[in-house]
Amino acid sequence: MPDFISSLNLHSTEIKLMPEFLFEKSIITQKTIAWKKITQAWIKFFMLMFLNFTV
């Protein structure tokens, strides 16, 4: 089982409706990663920033 469970395989409409930042907390390490949306087009690229804080 992966540490972080994410799905980047989203439809372009879902991408447009998403907030600019998403936070995901690891069940195993208790660390939080932040996903920053860098496009609202159909291109599904995200910039991954590893953060060492918890939400």
SS3 state of residue 50: strand
Instruction: Read off the pTM.
Output: 0.34
Mean pLDDT of the chain: 57
Is residue 49 pLDDT above 50, yes or no?
A: no
Task: Give the mean pLDDT of 26-36.
Answer: 73
CA–CA separation, 42 vs 15, rounded Å? Answer: 8
* Residue of 54, 2, 55, 47 whose CA lies nearest to 28: 2
Q: What pLDDT does residue 10 have?
A: 53
- The conformation of residue 23, written as its DSSP 8-state character, comes to E
Which tops the pLDDT comparison, 24 or 10?
A: 24
Is residue 9 pLDDT above 70, yes or no?
A: no
